[in-house]
Chains A and B, each alone.
Chain A
Amino acid sequence: METVLAFVIGGLYAAGIYSILRRSLIKLVIGLIFLGNASNLLIFTAAGLTKGKPPIISKESITEVAEYADPLPQAMILTAIVISFGVLAFVLVLIQRAYKMIGSDDIDEMRGR
C-alpha cells in the first residue's frame, strides 16, 4: 500500500510542478492544488498506515497503544486541507480579477510595459 501511495505522491508532485510551469493561469491553480494534495498524502503515508484499527482505546487496554492508527497526522491533514481551501478560494478570485483586467489567462500578457 505504501509503495502505491509513494508513486501516487510522486506523480502528483510531478504533475503539479509541470502545471505550475505552464503559462496559463488556470493551469497554475491546478498545479497548486496538486502540490498541496501531494503534501497531504505525504504526511499521511510518512506517518505510517495502519488499517482497520481506529484509535479508540478502552480503559482496560490502555497499554497497547502501538497497535492503533495515529490520529495526529489526520488532524494535521485536516488543518492543511482547510487552509489550502481558503487560500485556493483567494487565488481563484485573484486570477479571475487578473483575467478581467487583462483579458487573457497568459502570464506573459500580464507583464507591464
Chain B
Amino acid sequence: MQILIVLPIIIPFATAIIAFLARKWRLVQRVWGTVGAAGLLIVAVMLFKIVHQDGIQSVQIGQWPAPYGITIVVDLFSAVMVIMAGIIAFTVSIYSLIDIDEQRLAFGYFPLLHILLMGINGAFITGDIFNLYVWFEVMLIASFVLLAFGGRRLQMEAAVKYVTLNLVSSALFLAGVGILYGKIGTLNMADLAQKLAIEPQSHLISSSAMLFLVAFGIKAGVFPLFFWLPASYHRPPAAVSAIFAGLLTKVGVYALIRVFTLIFVHNLEFTHSLIIVIAGFTMVTGVLGAVAQYGMRRLLAFHIISQIGYMIMGLGLFTPLALAGVLVFIVHNIIAKSNLFLISGIVHRLRGSYHLKEVGGLYKTNPGLAILFMIPALSLAGVPPLSGFFAKFILIKAGLEVQNYYIVAVALIVSVLTLFSMTKIWNEVFWKDMPVSIDKKMSTKTNLTSKQYILLVAPVCMLAIITITIGLGSEWIFGVAKQAAEQLLDPTDYINAVFGGKS
C-alpha cells in the first residue's frame, strides 16, 4: 500500500513525461492528458478510502527514518484536497480538448498542466517544511509558463506581476524556514510540532510564524497581499484560469491551515486573532472589488479573494466546528469557482467577449447553459440547498459559538453582496437582450460545432452535479470534515503516523 501514497505525485509526473515525448501527436496528447487526470482521480479516491478507514498514512522516502528523511503524510485533510485536485484536473482536461488551441498544445500544454498537478499534490501530501517549499516552486514554475505562453501582450503584463509577487513570497517562505531551522533544528513538520510543544516560546518563533503568514498569504491572496490575483487570473485561456482559480490559491490556504494548526499553535491570542482580522478585511475588500467590475472573469477573480476570507476566518476561530466548516467550504468553493470560470469561457466562445456590457441574451439561445450557471452561482452566494449554504452555515455557527459577532456580521453582509454580484452576471449575460450595436459583429462569432459544444458543457455539468450532491449529501461530508478537523486539532495521531507510533 506504500506505493499508493506517493502515486498522486508519480501519476502526474509520468503523464507529463509521456505527453511531452508525444508532443508531435496532438491526438495522443489530448487522450493521454485526460486519461492521466482520470487516473489521478481514481487513485485519490482509493487513497481517501484507506485514510478514512485506517487513519493517517505515511511513507518515509528512501527508508530514511522520520526526522532525517522526507516523510510523505496523508491525513484526511490532505486526502480530500488530493481528490479535489483530481476532480478539477479531470474536468479541466476534458474542457481543454476544445478550449486549448493547436499552438498552445504544441508548446506543451498537457505536460505543463500535469507538472502543475504534481506540484499541487506534492504540497498537499508532504510532511516536511522544506519539501513543501520545493513543491511550491514546482507548482509555480509550471503556473508561470501556463500563464505566459501563447504570449499575447496583455498576458505578459499579467505574467510579470504574478511572477514577481510569487518570487517575493518564495523568498520570504525560505527565510521563515531558515529561521525556524536555526531555532528548532528540524524540518519535519511532525517533529517541529513535537519540539515546539516542549520548548518555551520565543520571539524567533513568532517572527518565523509571521514570515510564513505573509508568504502563504501572498499565495492564498489574502488582504492586503492579493493585488496580483485579479491582475493576472483573467488573462490566460479559460481552462487555465479555471484550474488556477480552483486550486492554486487553495494550496496557499492549505499551507496556512497546516502550519497554523500543527506548528504555530502556542501563541493563539496573537496569531489567530490576527488571522481573523485579516479574514474580515479579505472578505470585504474582495467582494467590494467585485462589485465595481464589469469583466466577467475579473469579477470572479475578486470573488476568489472574498471566499478565501471565509476559509481564513474558520482557521482564525480555531474550534473543531470552524475547521470542519473550512474544509466543507474549501471543497464547495473549489468546485463552484472552477465551474464559474469554465462557464465564463463558454460565454466568451459564444459571444466573443468577457465584458458584461458586450454580451447578453444567452437565456434565449442557450437556456441549458443559463441553468448550469445558476447552480454554482447560487451555491457561491450560499442559497440552500446547494453546497455553499451548508459551508457558510457551519462557519457562521462556529463564529456564534465563540461569540465573535463582528466576524459573523461581516460574513453575512459579504454573503449578500456575493448574491448581488452573481445576479449582476445573470442579468447582464443571460437575461438582458444582446446589445444592438454589437449584434452584427457578433453574428459571425458563433463557430462551435455541436460536438465541440457538448465537450465544453460536459465538464460544467459534472461540476454542477457535484455541487448539488455536496448540498444534498452534506451530512456525510460534514462527518468527514469533522473527523479531519479533529485530526488537525490534535496532532498526536499525525506525529504517531510520522514516527511509526514509537514516540
> By the criterion CB–CB under 8 Å, are A35 and B167 in contact?
yes
Q: Which of B101-109, B143-151, B396-404, B420-428 lies at the interface?
A: B143-151
In the complex, what's the smallest C-beta–C-beta distance from B130 to chain A, in angstroms? Answer: 6
Q: CA of A28 to CA of B161 in the docked complex: distance in angstroms?
A: 11
Q: Contacts A25-B160, A90-B141, A94-B148 given: A40-B154 contact, CB under 8 Å?
A: no
- Given A35-B171, A87-B137, A73:B178 Cβ within 8 A: yes
Tell me whether B177 is interfacial, beta carbon within 8 Å.
Answer: yes
Task: Tell whether A52 is near chain B: CB-to-CB under 8 Å.
Answer: no
Minimal beta-carbon separation of A13 from chain B (angstroms): 9
A110 contacts partner chain B, Cβ-Cβ < 8 Å: yes
In the bound complex, residues from chain B placing their C-beta under 8 Å from that of A39 are: 171-172, 174-175, 178
Q: Tell me if B181 is interfacial: C-beta within 8 Å of chain A.
A: yes
Chain A residues within 8 Å of B179, by CB: 42, 46
Cβ-defined contact, B156 with A101, below 8 A? yes
Q: Say yes or no: is B490 at the interface (Cβ < 8 Å to chain A).
A: no
B182 touches A97 (CB 8 A): no
**CB-based contact A94/B160 at 8 Å:** yes
On whether A20 and B153 interact (CB within 8 A), knowing A39-B174, A46-B179, A80-B174, the answer reads: no
In the complex, chain A residues 59-113 whose Cβ is within 8 Å of any chain B Cβ: 72-73, 76, 79-80, 83, 86-87, 90-91, 94-95, 97-98, 101-102, 107, 110-112
What is the CA–CA distance of A8 and B178 in the complex, to the nearest angstrom?
16
Alpha-carbon distance A47/B174, docked complex (angstroms): 13
A87 to B179 CA separation, bound complex (whole angstroms): 23
A87 to B187, CA, bound (A): 23
**A1-26 CB contact bits vs B (8 Å, 1 = yes)?**
00000000000000010001000010
The distance in angstroms between the C-alpha atoms of A63 and B164, with both chains bound, is 46
Min CB–CB distance A93 → chain B (angstroms): 9
Place the interface of chain B in its size category.
20 to 34
Question: A48 near B167 (CB under 8 angstroms)?
Answer: no
B157 — which chain A residues lie within 8 A by C-beta? 98, 110-112
Given contacts A47-B182, A95-B160, contact A40 B174 (CB under 8 A): yes
Minimum CB–CB distance for B114 against chain A, Å: 18
Contacts of B172 in A (CB 8 A): 39
* Contact mask for chain B residues 280-317; partner A; CB cutoff 8 A; 1 contact, 0 none: 00000000000000000000000000000000000000
- In the complex, the chain A residue whose C-beta lies closest to that of B182 is A46
Which residues of chain A come closer than 8 Å to B137, judged between CB atoms? 83, 87
Q: Which residues of B contact A25 (CB under 8 A)?
A: 160
Answer yes or no: B253 CB below 8 A from chain A CBs. Answer: no
B141 touches A43 (CB 8 A): no
Write the nearest CB–CB distance from B227 to chain A, whole angstroms: 14
Interface residue B80 (Cβ < 8 Å from any Cβ of A): no
Confirm or deny: B327 has a beta carbon within 8 angstroms of a beta carbon on chain A. no
Is B168 at the interface (CB under 8 A from chain A)?
A: yes
B159 part of interface (Cβ distance < 8 Å): yes
B358 to chain A, nearest CB (A): 15
Contact at A35–B178, with CB atoms within 8 Å?
no
If A20-B168, A43-B181, A90-B144 touch, whether A97 touches B174 (CB-CB below 8 Å) is no
Residues A43 and B178 in contact, CB atoms below 8 Å apart? yes
Cα–Cα, bound, A106→B230 (Å): 21
Q: Is the CB of B141 within 8 A of A73?
A: no
Task: List the A residue with the shortest CB-CB distance to B131.
Answer: A79
- The residue on A at minimum CB distance from B168 is A35
Q: Which residues of A contact B160 (CB under 8 A)?
A: 25, 28, 94-95, 98, 107, 110
Cα–Cα distance between A40 and B175 once the two chains are bound (Å) = 8
Kindly state whether residue B229 has any CB partner on chain A within 8 Å: no
- Is B181 a contact partner of A94 (Cβ separation < 8 A)? no
- Docked Cα-Cα span, A44 to B171, in Å, equals 14
The verdict on B140 contacting chain A, using a C-beta distance below 8 Å, is yes
Beta-carbon contact of A20 and B141 below 8 Å: no
Which residues of chain B come closer than 8 Å to A43, judged between CB atoms? 174-175, 177-178, 181-182
Name the B residues within 8 Å of A107 (CB-CB): 160
Q: Is B134 on the interface with A (CB-CB < 8 A)?
A: yes
Decide: A47 and B153 in contact? CB cutoff 8 A: no
Whether the pair A97, B151 counts as a contact (CB closer than 8 A) is yes
Residue B163 CB within 8 A of the other chain? yes
Q: Specify which chain A residues have a CB less than 8 angstroms from the CB of B167 in the assembled complex.
A: 32, 35-36, 87, 91
**Contact between A46 and B164, CB atoms less than 8 A apart:** no
Q: Which residues of B contact A110 (CB under 8 A)?
A: 153, 156-157, 160
Contact A76–B130 (Cβ < 8 Å): yes
Give chain B residues whose Cβ lies under 8 Å from the Cβ of A20.
164, 168
A-B contact pairs, 23 of them (CB 8 A): A32-B164, A35-B171, A36-B170, A36-B171, A39-B175, A42-B175, A45-B182, A46-B182, A47-B181, A48-B182, A72-B181, A72-B187, A73-B178, A79-B134, A87-B167, A90-B141, A90-B145, A91-B163, A94-B159, A97-B151, A101-B156, A107-B160, A110-B160
Query: Which residues in A have some Cβ–Cβ distance to B below 8 Å?
Result: 16, 20, 25, 28, 32, 35-36, 38-40, 42-48, 72-73, 76, 79-80, 83, 86-87, 90-91, 94-95, 97-98, 101-102, 107, 110-112
7 interchain residue pairs of minimum CB distance: A46-B182, A43-B178, A39-B174, A35-B171, A110-B157, A98-B156, A39-B175
Q: Name 17 extra pairs, CB < 8 A, besides A28-B160, A46-B181.
A: A32-B164, A38-B171, A39-B172, A39-B175, A43-B174, A43-B175, A45-B182, A46-B178, A46-B179, A47-B181, A48-B182, A79-B130, A83-B137, A90-B141, A94-B160, A110-B157, A110-B160
